[in-house]
Structure 1
């Protein structure tokens, strides 16, 4: 990762900042980035106008994966220098930080900014083209995922519609069956209770007695009529 390292500090610093900067560079070289960050900040407190301290601090922050703070500090460094080469390096480093976080769109922008200051920088050109390729792949994948989501939603909608139709058909079938059961029930002879049967039986017996009584009466009258003399 070119440029994401500390710039050489010319030790024209003030007081204690010289020792802090030297120790910070040593910690950086040894990979002790948290210690380097702390020491660079102390050196900046002692010499806040030294732009290279901000570049080194930003580099240490990038190495420790404190991406957002690293980018802010590189931007601060850019505002403190008039050197096109240093601005190009800061933009390049920001592009690398963004690339490491797969923020390809913004990375493309910063590599492009770096090339505006140093058009012949082969590394910047290579990373610019690589970031563009990754951005296109990312966009293609996002479009693919979006299409898959749309297809899935459409499939789910179709399944829901089929299920609703099936539910409606089942409900209609159930309703039809209930109506048929009701019709069958109405057509079936109703069962007679024991009390009703006894009542009907008594009525029939009573009717039979009345008919028998009437028959006997008619027979008696007929017999009397036949025994009378015809004067």
Structure 2
């Protein structure tokens, strides 16, 4: 059991961190894009949704190209923090966030677009600023889709494999999540451990989706 828990705990930590990043980004971009019409919107939204259909290994490869040690951004990160982002805990968070973002963005955008614009206009007429409008009017009215997006994003980040193993690697105790640990255990013929991690991820994912179903059924 000593070998079982570290990847599970690391997976949960990474999923929570990625979920927070994705929730904030999805909230900002979903709010900004809701109801907007401008040239290039289709292209921008296509870019936001692209990780949803790309193979995760492609996402991982692109992250390496954009943030690896040979890239301009990667060199800046290494200069600021004293180490590259590749093959670190944060690389796993970024990889998970990249593949989970489209789910949160879609849910947030749909939630904000479902709000009656007259309600928001009335709040602005009554003197509410944009920040207060967002926090006290828009978010509460779009709360159900936002929570749904957060749950789906967390579940997606928890099970991420391809982008993670490309960008963060499979370093025990550092970047080895339950998903990558399953792959290694299977490759080594340790089926008992592979089944334990599989059962754990299935159980957590089932629980999260059950919560989502209950949330969406409530009126």
TM norm structure 2: 0.26
Structure number with bigger Rg: 1
- Flag the structure with more relative contact order, 1 or 2, with Cα contacts below 8 A and sequence separation at least 6: 2
TM norm structure 1: 0.25
